[in-house]
Chains A and B, each alone.
Chain A
Amino acid sequence: MLETIWFILWGVLWAVYFMLDGFDLGLGTLLPVLSKNETDRRIIYNSMGPFWDGNEVWLITAGGATFAAFPVAYAVMFNGLYSALLLLLFALIIRGVCFEFRNKIDSDGWRGLWDAAMVIGSFLPALLLGVAFANIFEGLPIDQDGVFQGGLFTLLNPYGLAGGVLFVLLFLVHGSLWLALKSEGALQQRAGAMAKKLWPVLLVVAVLFLAFTLVATDLFNNYFKMPVLWILPLIAVLALLGTFVFIRQAAWLKAWLSSAVTILFVTFFGVAGLFPRLLPSSLNPAYSITIQNGAASQLTLKIMLVVALIMVPIVIAYQLWVYLFLGNKVTEKDLAYEEAY
């Protein structure tokens, strides 16, 4: 029972991480495309400024919760995906320092360097996270000892890459919508137009990915066993369609929220299909790391659950407050603020 609760929490933590960091990873990737001048770029940086760090902690927590609740899954996953995860780490490191470093030396070359770092540091995590999770969905080549029989290139199989492309597109739309929400004038128009242009591509990729999932994975088994689960992909699809409706209405907040729900439920769709496995083995189903053979002790799960039930709502409450409190549009006037990025 406790294992099941933690499996759900595990999925929720990753989903919230994708939903939150998704927009700043997507927006960071689009930085050179959406901006025409230095003012635009600074507006983009400042639109993510107060939020990106808090967003990224969801990744730390998702990782930490995997470690605490499913230590075996954590060990197998991080060991097996070594190169991919270290690449992700380096990308997040250079991205994280961009905000602080970029405006500290007044030179176009210097700023250009960190803009490039921002693009790479945003695009790579989006891609790698998608590739990693698609690979988990289809199963990793792990043997009976939990040893990963492959390398970085094992992950770059067609389905894995499809997952990567899907994540990148989800985040690009999400990021464009964030900027449309947080800016005004020509920049806002470009951001909105970008979302509108990318959406059909996302739709096509999402449909293809879904069809590919049916062929390449056994995620749908759980759905046939328990039809009520269909509600998860259904919400994802409706939210994706809703995103487009709101984009056409230029209702940016609704569009962004809709896109957020899409990302949440796309993740839930995959995670629900995995249950009760955290890391399915593609070599032999018996080698899979599941909530039974991968979980921590009952006492640890219980203590962690108490901590999570108290702290996670508090975290959500103050982060929500921050989003509301600092939710205003970023304008040129805000760039004159002494502490702005």
Chain B
Amino acid sequence: MDVLMLSRLQFAVATMFHFLFVPLTLGLSILTAIYETMYVKTGDEDYKRAAKFWGKLFLINFALGVVTGITLEFQFGTNWSSYSKYVGDIFGSLLAIEATLAFYLESTFIGVWIFTWNKVKPKTHALFIWLVAIASNISALWILIANGWMQHPVGYTMRNGRAELVDFWAVITNKFAVLEFMHTVSGAYILAGFFVMGVCGYHLLRKNEVQFFKKSFNVAVTFALVFALFEAFNGHLHGAEVAETQPAKLAAMESHWETASSVPMYLLQIPDPANERNSVQAIPIPGMLSMLAHHDPSATVKGLKDFPASERPPVTLTFWSFRLMVGLGFLFILIAGLGWLKRNDIENQAGLLKLFIYAIPLPYLALELGWAVAEVGRQPWIVYGLMKTADAVSILDVSQVAISLTAFVVFYSILGLIDFYLLSKYARKGPVH
């Protein structure tokens, strides 16, 4: 393995691990803020206990999200220094703005929130968690504007041998980035909703604190259902934007080989990239792919064969990641919908409650798959159409990266196991009386 491959693996490990914690931070901060606001509004102590209970789980998760985020910022310089030189004028400023606008706010007020339960009025205290929740989500916005620029670079010109900023407004209103942001945070909210629903399921099955968990559940299931529905809608828009801006990625997502018009979507399909075809292709829905990609059932959709082999993303991984993610997305609507319909009698729905517990890992999986589609599907480009990943890597010794990659895998595995163990331990323990 060379420095390029090791650095790619290291970045994948660092990003995917980071993203095991970020979505719960984004969503659970909002849910905790909602519970605390309901306490302020109603004076119901159960909601205060809810804010404390879910807040504790939020904090256990938050710790790893923060510290693994630093890794990502460092990596651009350590492993992708050619990239940093080439596009740092735009990309670097977005990261710096994220830190000044959001990260300070989040990191400062999380400490304030922890330490001031009995120091300020309930209303003020609720404001602190809202600041954390809003700051986390603003943080996500800037990070996704940065990633959106890598997906669909806008507002720049080539000057002095690098990409230089010419239109900041275009960069921050990049349609790709906005859609990517909506898609990602909605996913995070679904994940947080399912997390809370699962933990509620565990306790309701045991008839533990039934009133308390029903109250938590009602908020979470509504939250999850709203965003699961919204996700299907914005996911479609996002896919259509990919079709416009990254036709090679779309073709890989659908394993679509031949350019054609009125392209159907096959419900059953297995790609065979070695032979540039699909080994299985059955149950077509006529015109569906054309319709989804270009809002016209007879539209032409470019196939993979129209791209030189060196400019095609890995098809199998992109295709399966996408399929599975979409399938899970529909499953989330179904599960959240069932939960919502039965919400008033949820403590007696043993089957559903078990389902919620087993469903906890599914949104995690869907979000990781979504990143695989976004990042693997963009290959061989690091900045779509502008810079290839192979040209972006730092000058390093193989041994340096091999050692650091090993260290990341070992370190992260240990920390991840501890964190999930603690999450599950405190989730089972239930709220304090």
**Real complex partners, A and B?**
yes
Q: Give Cα distance in the complex from A176 to B27, angstroms.
A: 39
Nearest opposing residue in chain A for B111, CB measure: A50
Query: What residues of chain B lie closer than 8 Å to A238, measured between beta carbons?
Result: none
Question: Would you call B100 and A68 a contact (CB within 8 A)?
Answer: no
B110 beta carbon closer than 8 Å to chain A: yes
Are A300 and B89 in contact (CB-based, < 8 A)?
yes
Interface residue from B111, B117, B419 paired with A338 (Cβ < 8 Å)? B117
Asked if B104 and A86 sit within 8 Å, CB to CB, the answer is no
User: Shortest CB–CB separation between residue B180 and chain A, in angstroms?
Assistant: 21
Which residue of A is nearest B163, CB measured? A297
Q: Which of B110, B118, B419 contacts A337 (CB 8 A)?
A: B118
Given known pairs A71-B84, A74-B92, A104-B425, the reply for A297 and B74 (CB within 8 Å) is no
Instruction: Give the distance in Å from the alpha carbon of A270 to the alpha carbon of B72 in the complex.
Output: 28
Kindly state whether residue B285 has any CB partner on chain A within 8 Å.
no
Q: Is A61's beta carbon under 8 Å from chain B?
A: yes
Chain B residues with Cβ below 8 Å from A315 are 100, 104-105, 108
B93 contacts A by Cβ under 8 Å: yes
Roughly how many angstroms separate A92 CA and B415 CA in the complex, as a whole number? 13
Residues of chain A lying within 8 A (CB to CB) of residue B52: 338-339
Contact at A79–B92, with CB atoms within 8 Å?
no
Instruction: List A42-79 residues whose CB lies under 8 Å from chain B.
Output: 49-54, 56-57, 59-61, 63-65, 67-69, 71-72, 74-79
Check if A89 sits within 8 Å of B415, measured CB to CB: no
Interface-facing stretch out of A32-40, A276-284, A304-312? A304-312
| Given the contacts A71-B85, A312-B100, A49 and B111 also touching, CB distance less than 8 Å | yes
- Given A57-B107, A93-B68, A315-B104, answer yes or no on A78-B404 (Cβ-Cβ < 8 Å): no
CB distance from A83 to the nearest CB of B (A): 6
Give the docked Cα–Cα distance between A340 and B104 (Å): 22
B411: which A residues are within 8 A, CB to CB? 90, 93-94
Is the beta-carbon distance between A104 and B88 smaller than 8 angstroms?
A: no
B90 within 8 A of A: yes
**B396 adjacent to chain A (CB < 8 Å):** yes
Q: Please determine whether A78 and B77 come into contact, CB atoms closer than 8 angstroms.
A: yes
Residues of B contacting A322 in the complex (Cβ-Cβ under 8 angstroms):
108, 111-112
Cβ contact within 8 Å between A339 and B93 = no
Q: Which residues of B contact A49 (CB under 8 A)?
A: 111, 114-115
CA distance A2 to B395 in the complex (A): 30
Query: Number of residues in B with C-beta < 8 Å to the partner?
Result: 70
Counting CB contacts under 8 A, is B76 at the interface? yes
* Among B30-38, B59-67, B286-294, the stretch in contact with A: B59-67
Query: Is the CB of B165 closer than 8 A to any CB of chain A?
Result: yes
The answer for the CA separation of A51 and B400 in the assembled complex, in Å, is: 34
* Interface segment out of the listed A95-103, A214-222, A224-232, A245-253: A95-103
Verify A93–B67 contact, CB threshold 8 A: yes
Contacting pair B164 A297 (CB below 8 A): yes
Judging by beta carbons under 8 Å apart, are B111 and A53 in contact? yes
Closest to B171 in A: A303
Q: How far is the CB of B69 from chain A (nearest CB, A)?
A: 8
Question: Is there contact, CB below 8 Å, between B77 and A74?
Answer: yes
Q: In this assembly, does B330 line the interface, its C-beta being within 8 Å of a C-beta of chain A?
A: no
Contact of A319 among B59, B64, B85, B108 (CB under 8 A): B108
In the assembled complex, the Cα of A146 lies from the Cα of B396 at a distance in Å of: 13
Per the 8 Å Cβ criterion, residues 87-132 of B in contact with A are 88-93, 95-101, 103-105, 107-108, 110-112, 114-119
Residue B296 at the chain A interface, CB threshold 8 Å: no
What per-residue 1/0 map shows which CB atoms of B214-231 lie under 8 Å from chain A? 000000000000000000
Contact between chains at A297 and B67 (CB < 8 Å): no
Contact A67 B164 (CB under 8 A): no
Closest beta carbon of chain A to B380's beta carbon, Å? 21
If A79-B394, A82-B394 touch, does A97 touch B77 (CB 8 Å cutoff)? no
Cα A73 to Cα B114 in complex, Å, equals 38
Q: In the bound complex, do residue A82 and residue B396 qualify as a contact, i.e. CB atoms below 8 Å apart?
A: yes
The answer for the CA separation of A54 and B103 in the assembled complex, in Å, is 8
A86–B67 CB distance below 8 A: no
How far, in angstroms, from A14 to B88 measured CA to CA in the complex? 20
Please indicate the chain A residues that have their CB under 8 angstroms from the CB of B166 in the complex: 299
CB distance from B96 to the nearest CB of A (A): 4
Taking the complex as formed, is B334 at the interface, i.e. its CB lies under 8 A from any CB of chain A? Answer: no
Q: Return the contact of B115 from the options A50, A56, A68, A105 (Cβ within 8 A).
A: A50
The answer to whether B96 touches A304 (Cβ under 8 A) is: yes
Partner of A296, one of B60, B89, B168, B415: B89
Contact A96 B84 (CB under 8 A): no
Q: How far is the CA of A308 from the CA of B160 in the complex (A)?
A: 25
Contacts of B168 in A (CB 8 A): 299, 303
- Is A235 located at the chain interface by the 8 A CB criterion? no
Is B210's CB within 8 Å of the partner chain A? no
Q: Is B316 an interface residue (CB 8 A)?
A: no
B104 and A75 within 8 A (CB): no
Q: Are B99 and A64 in contact (CB under 8 A)?
A: yes
Q: Which among B67, B96, B117 is the interface contact of A96 at CB below 8 angstroms?
A: B67
CA distance A303 to B90 in the complex (A): 11
A12 interface contact, C-beta 8 A: no
Q: Collect the chain B residues with CB atoms within 8 Å of residue A99's CB.
A: 63
Is there a chain A Cβ closer than 8 Å to B379's Cβ?
no
B85 contacts A72, C-beta separation under 8 Å? yes
Closest to B110 in A: A53
Q: A257 on the interface (CB 8 Å rule)?
A: no
The answer to whether B93 and A68 have CB atoms under 8 Å apart is yes
Report the nearest B residue to A341, measured CB to CB.
B114
B111 touches A86 (CB 8 A): no
How far, in whole Å, are A72 and B425 apart by their CA atoms in the complex?
46
Answer whether residue B306 sits at the interface, using C-beta atoms and an 8 A cutoff.
Answer: no
Residue of A nearest to B159 (CB): A297
A319 with B96: CB separation less than 8 A: no
Q: List 13 A-B contacts (CB under 8 A).
A: A49-B114, A67-B95, A67-B96, A71-B85, A79-B78, A79-B396, A82-B396, A85-B77, A105-B425, A315-B104, A319-B108, A325-B112, A338-B117
7 shortest interchain CB distances as A-B pairs: A78-B77, A71-B88, A67-B92, A50-B111, A64-B96, A79-B81, A75-B81
- Which B residues are within 8 Å of any A CB, using their own CB? 52, 59-60, 62-64, 66-68, 70-71, 73-74, 76-78, 81-82, 84-85, 88-93, 95-101, 103-105, 107-108, 110-112, 114-119, 159-160, 162, 164-166, 168, 394-397, 400, 403-404, 407, 411, 415, 418-419, 422, 425-426, 432
- Contacts A49-B115, A69-B92, A97-B63 known; 4 new A-B pairs at CB < 8 A: A54-B111, A68-B95, A82-B400, A105-B425
Q: Which residues of A contact B (CB under 8 A)?
A: 49-54, 56-57, 59-61, 63-65, 67-69, 71-72, 74-79, 82-83, 85-86, 89-90, 92-94, 96-97, 99-101, 104-105, 146-147, 151, 296-297, 299-300, 303-304, 307-308, 311-312, 315, 318-319, 322, 325-326, 337-340
